[in-house]
A and B are shown apart, each in its own frame.
Chain A
Amino acid sequence: MEKKKRIFEYLDARQGNTGTDAFEADLKNDDALYGEFLAVKNSLAKFDALAEVEPDNGYFESVVPRFREKLEAKRSRAFAPLFWKLGGAVAVPALAVTLFITQPWTVENPVPVVNSPVTETIIAKVEPKTVTEPTTAVTAPVARVAKAVPVRQQLFIDSDKEELLLNSEDLTGDGTLISSHNKFETVYSSLLGLDKATLADAVDKYGFSNEEIAQNLSDEDIQKLSETLTPVSN
């Protein structure tokens, strides 16, 4: 491992002039070091060859035009609400003034409804009927099967979701979780570290399963949560 460390430091130009000279002298005299050096150089050369990819130039030529299209779409979206707001602000008072002036719901000389003599005679002959509810069922009630359309129900409020995820570290109870370079990694690792028993406790505590959590997290939820945990600072 010490040999590899020296090789990596040499390749990374970390040793300074003296260290470099010493390493190169050792390379000439030490076959094991030389062998290791060749192996590393060979592996890295092969790795670098993988990165020499000939790209499809059509893709890179399309980047700026696509960006311009998105920018234009974004601008028109930003303009549309303004248009509707301004349009609405003018149109509603104009409609109100028009209605106030014309007042189409007022009738100045209402004409009384007069039935013809024939109609009056028919009305007089009709006997009033009393409607009663039937005492027995005419037919057996038809059983119906109602199929509920699956609807994404809000099982818990957003603050609960975030609280669960942010505090889930407490549920693991073991110190083996990999501490990471930011808050997200810690929370994420703790979520992954949940054993079955702890998960069952969480299910009992909150009354829902992991799948239900997943179903209730929209793309926006995930994005929001992800940004909460690792805020973008640019």
Chain B
Amino acid sequence: MNDDELVKRFLDGEESAFNQLARKYQQKIYWHARRLTGNHFDADDILQEVLMVMYNKLKDYKFESSLYTWIFKITYTRSLNLINKNKLKKFFSIGDEDTPEIRGDDDVARDVENREKLRLLDKILKELPVKQREVFVMRHFDELSYEEIAEITGKSTGGLKANYFHALNKVTSLMEREYGKKETDLRILGRQAG
């Protein structure tokens, strides 16, 4: 059953149709929010908020654009607002150690190995400025087109492409810093020898 049918059934009063929609999109919402905010607690809050907004506003949803673009738009604005809110909190509470950014629990990861991967991923993404991070997450992970990202963010595709270029450049540099270039150099030598 496609999204439009599920929405119509939900609007006709079938609550289970909403559950199906929620289950279908929950991971995408979570990971989008997680990669933008950089921590589990904020991502979890945003996921619950987005579901609440979907539940209350699906009646206003116009079937002109795709549902996932609409959901991404809600998730994006909520994530951006939370990032801004956390920045304000951090600025005004010098010495307050109970800020979400400092809490290091990653409840979504299954084990220590996955938790460590997530920690490193969050660390690298957080080094990107928000403008670069948002386009990078939507393009690289969510695989949205520039037109879709422009619709969600309200920015020009030219600006988005420039920010994506800077983000890619920074991510590759940070990864080289983390892992070094030894392996790559060996592969080049191998090709030259062959």
Contact = CB atoms under 8 A, between A and B. Distances in A.
Interface of A: 4-5, 8, 11-12, 14, 31, 34-35, 38-40, 42-44, 46-47, 49-56, 59-60, 63-64, 66-67, 70-71, 74, 180-181, 184-185, 188, 191-192, 210-211, 213-214, 217, 222-223, 225-227, 229-230, 232-234
B92 interface: yes
Given A53-B118, A213-B92, A226-B88, 8 more contacts: A12-B161, A43-B172, A44-B175, A50-B120, A55-B108, A63-B30, A71-B55, A232-B77
A14 B52 contact: no
Interface in B75-123: 77-78, 80-81, 84-85, 87-89, 91-94, 107-111, 114, 117-118, 120-121
B105 to A, nearest CB: 12
B175 A230 contact: no
Contacts of A35: 184-185, 188
Contacts of B117: 49-53
B22 A64 contact: yes
Contacts of A225: 88
B22 to A, nearest CB: 5
Interface string B5-43: 000000000000001001100110010000000000000
Contacts of A227: 81
A38 B110 contact: no
A38 B188 contact: yes
Of the candidates A188, A226, A230, the one having the most CB atoms from chain B within 10 angstroms of its own CB is: A226
B183 A226 contact: no
Interface in B151-187: 155, 161, 164-165, 168-169, 171-172, 175-176, 178-179, 181, 183-185, 187
B188 A34 contact: yes
B171 A43 contact: yes
B184 A226 contact: no
The B interface is mostly helix, strand or loop, or mixed, namely helix
Interface residues of B, number: 63
Q: What 3 A-B pairs have minimum CB-CB distances, sorted nearest first?
A: A43-B175, A214-B92, A43-B172
Of the candidates B26, B77, B131, B175, the one having the most CB atoms from chain A within 10 angstroms of its own CB is: B175
B150 interface: no
Contacts of B176: 39, 43
B107 A47 contact: no
B53 A191 contact: no
A47 B57 contact: no
A39 to B, nearest CB: 5
B107 A222 contact: no
Contacts of A185: 130
Contact of A230 (B30, B81, B118): B81
